[in-house]
Structure 1
């Protein structure tokens, strides 16, 4: 039986915790469905870096970044991380969007196939992609352009998330499908092989940037969010085992699954993660040129108009304290 003093102390502790939680500002962040890199993506929210900035980061998952973009535009999110192509297309058409940081600059994405040997073999074939403007769709089109293959000579079939696209290839519905490179160990077990390495073929394509609405987010709160994310990546790369455990927990990976370790090692390679979240406008210009060739965007659009570096610089100042 608890003594009166113990019970009083326990109640006081609960009250203090509730008060502290009430003081935190909720920050709604979106990402794609959890995979092997979930420990990196979720560390700010799960590792307490958000609380140190006075935030409560609540992460929502979406089947694709195109859906996350819609949620952001609808005011259901404060930010999301994803392929910069979708936001750029929307911004070129008047969408009030801002890229405030690009952390995952290495394009750790591949195209897998069961029967094809190289990118050149894609002509005349069927590729399982996702929604138009989402990363898998734009990546595939960029590869075709890079290889001089007419986009209309390839059948692009919308097939959902990574797992759905891979199933389409395994079942023979599609000849190839783009997916995160971390899928390589599982792909080999399914008889698939990578025929395109995105980081090698498209070094200017960035995988993930932080996107916010320029008309709806206070810069002070945005800076705190980016500072929390910066701290999270710094912590994650210094605590591998803890990060892998979080990846397995969030993505519900079974024992023996190699995806988390493979994703972590990929992200650890030089040039993949930009710890200062800088935004290379020249890479956005390259992407604009690709999107202009696919007819998604006006070639005259200036990507620099959707970059807000003040948030990142404020986050760096917070991180230095």
Structure 2
């Protein structure tokens, strides 16, 4: 299940004994949209003295199941539909979203040579990570927006972004979504790949990535969760204002050797979409649009009030102290 483990051990005073451990799960391998959480987790470790143990899971649903089971304390992931669905089950210990760190999707739907439009995908295979995952929700949204009958498209479970790109290259699928960075890189490396649709142009307010915890953990660790939300909103604002720093950290964390033009183009696409949750992300308009898409994808059967799956308490405290972010 877990594909990668990392342990940050910072700021425990000498002689103070073992630092408490904060177990953090990510719903994917590190990519150009979420690696910057390292700024957050390093800051939390420095400020609180916790050890931060990070686990990267294959996808969001697995990460959320691990959160429900108590295997991790906090999850950074896409696939908000899983949280909404759990909220309708009236569980004793609910999952609670404390902020959205990516408030617009950066995914690009790529097609193989011979596929020139979304209409060409009827009868063809579109690769996703898993049913109900963000790759599934956004693929269906882009197809519906173009007037394509989704029932005539073969939605195929392939795996994460790297698996989908490999499947595109081998011909196992005719189309699949990829993060902007991966899509730009793939088009340079795989002959004939082309952009069929840009998700952010179709669903600009979708909550692509969230931070969630269990209600019991939130209640028992309010100060720690406040520190985490404050640090993550600081990091989101840094991501949106420090292009050079963002790309420098990406190169170090992702270990990918590509031309600077790829890094720059991917960052500029994300900036143009105002993707980072600089103000916490859980505003009514975005929550409404996100739930509408999850309903269309049949991940949920009815809208769920925010109070049943999220809290804006820490976001509101942060904004009272630091104000709203001003985009350049």
Shorter-chain TM-score range: 0.7 to 0.9
Residue 135 of structure 2 corresponds to 136
Q: Based on CA coordinates, which of the two structures has the bigger radius of gyration?
A: 1
Residue 161 of structure 2 corresponds to 162
1:286 aligns with 2:289: yes
In the TM superposition, what are the counterparts of 1:1-321 in structure 2 within 5 Å?
A: 18-19=13-14, 25-31=20-26, 32-46=28-42, 48=43, 50-83=45-78, 84-95=80-91, 96-114=94-112, 115-189=114-188, 190-191=190-191, 192-217=193-218, 218-254=221-257, 256=259, 259-269=262-272, 271-316=274-319
Distance 1:40 1:20 in 2: 31
CA contact (8 A) 1:219 1:311 kept: no
Report the 3-state secondary structure (helix = DSSP H, G, I; strand = E; otherwise coil) of the residue aligned with 1:73.
helix
Q: Could you tell me which runs of 5 or more consecutive residues in structure 1 were left unpaired when the two chains were aligned.
A: 1-15
Q: Per the alignment, do residues 173 and 275 of structure 1 end up closer, same or farther by CA in structure 2, a change over 3 Å counting?
A: same
State the TM-score, normalizing by the size of structure 2: 0.82
Q: Per the alignment, do residues 124 and 274 of structure 1 end up closer, same or farther by CA in structure 2, a change over 3 Å counting?
A: same
What whole-Å deviation, never above 9, does each CA across 1:181-204 have from its counterpart, x for those lacking one?
A: 122321222131221100001123
**Greater RCO, 1 or 2 (C-alpha within 8 Å, sep 6+):** 1
State the TM-score, normalizing by the size of structure 1: 0.83
What whole-Å deviation, never above 9, does each CA across 1:161-196 have from its counterpart, x for those lacking one?
A: 111111111111101001111223212221312211
CA contact (8 A) 1:100 1:308 kept: yes
Q: Could you tell me which runs of 5 or more consecutive residues in structure 2 were left unpaired when the two chains were aligned.
A: 1-10, 324-328
Please state how far the C-alpha of 1:41 moved relative to its aligned partner: 2.8
CA contact (8 A) 2:118 2:146 kept: yes
Higher-helix-fraction structure: 1
